[in-house]
Amino acid sequence: MALFNKNNPDYLFHPFFEFLIIAFSLIAILVPLRIFAKIIFVDEWIGSIGIITVIFGLILYLSKKEKLGIFGKMFIRQITKNHKGKRKWIIYSQTGLFLSMGALTIFCIHSGNTEYYPLKEQVIAEFGNQGILIDSELNFDAINQISSQVSPEEQVGAIAALPMLTIQNFEIFSVVLSVTDQMMGGWVMYFWQIMVIETMEVSIFLGISRKFIFKNIP
């Protein structure tokens, strides 16, 4: 697979490399902004609202104005492809999956911290009796202690059993997630809040781009 595309004059790079360039460029922009927002804002998820929309909207505007050169052309092509063929259905499926998983995880952690809080306290107290202290801060020692007591095979089995646990014993599932979130300093909840927000923003952006910019896309 050649890096440069000689067959199509509109493409400087092979389409796959073009996709990678755009993807990694957006990651390089968004990840530092996400970390900065978590540091600055007390309610971290609030600082995430609008970041995707602003960044994507600005890049799209500058690209349409031909202010970003080759990068702008590549960005427009990638956005256009998102509305066509198999990629369109892949994106729609991923959007539904991420929103469903995010909403379920957030609801479970919230339930573990409220409705099932007494059971959560019992689990944390039991860990305390084993010398594993779980507080509201990110605790690598506790994570390592728990991981060392469970074999890799048991860890894989536990992960595989989680989907059935949501149906058979939702209370236990919620407590497991809420304890895990607390042990990781709230990063599980934060991650899925961001995932839901960004998935919704990307969906809105793609909808707007299709309706008002790419009107001729079949």
- Kindly report, residue by residue over 16-36, the tens digit of the pLDDT: 788 888 888 888 887 787 777
Q: Note whether residue 212 is domain-resident.
A: no
**Residue 203 domain-assigned (yes or no):** no
Same domain, 140 and 182: yes
Please check whether residue 199 lies inside any domain of the structure. Answer: no
The more confident residue out of 66 and 211 is 66
In 3-state terms, what secondary structure has residue 5?
Answer: coil
Residue 216: per-residue pLDDT: 47
Q: For 118-145, how does the pLDDT look when each residue is reduced to its tens digit (9 = 90+)? A: 998 888 888 777 777 677 666 667 667 6
User: In the predicted model, what is the mean pLDDT of the chain?
Assistant: 77
| pLDDT, average across residues 189-213 | 80
Residue at a domain's end among 81, 113, 128: 81
End-to-end CA distance of the chain: 29
Confidence at residue 138, expressed as pLDDT on a 0 to 100 scale: 64
Q: Regarding predicted confidence, which is higher, 214 or 156?
A: 156
Which of 13 and 44 is assigned the larger pLDDT?
13
- Write out the residue range of the structural domain in which residue 165 sits: 99-190
SS3 154: helix
Q: Which long-range contacts (CB under 8 A, 24 or more apart) does 135-144 make?
A: 135/182, 136/182, 136/185, 136/186, 137/185, 138/183, 138/184, 138/185, 138/187, 139/183, 139/184, 139/185, 142/183, 143/183, 143/184
Tell whether 110 and 185 lie within a shared domain: yes
- Out of 19, 54, 81, pick the residue that ends a domain: 81
pLDDT at site 1: 46
> Tokens for 126?
């039991």
Same domain, 135 and 77: no
Domain contains 207: no
pLDDT value of position 107? 92
205 in any annotated domain: no
Q: How far apart are the C-alpha atoms of 48 and 84, rounded to whole Å?
A: 29
Residue percentage of the chain with pLDDT more than 90: 6
Q: Please tell me whether residues 60 and 104 are part of one structural domain.
A: no
Q: Which of 146, 107, 140 is nearest to 124 (CA)?
A: 146
Top mean-pLDDT range of 8-12, 135-139, 192-196: 192-196
Q: What's the number of domains the chain is made of? A: 2
SS3 6: coil
pLDDT (tens digit per residue) in 59-98: 888 888 888 888 888 888 888 887 777 878 888 888 888 8
> Pick the residue with more confidence: 209 or 2?
209
What Å distances lie between residue 54 and 105, 168, 198, 209, CA to CA? 27, 42, 12, 14
21 occurs within a structural domain? yes
Residues 61, 120, single domain; the answer is: no
Within a domain: 179: yes
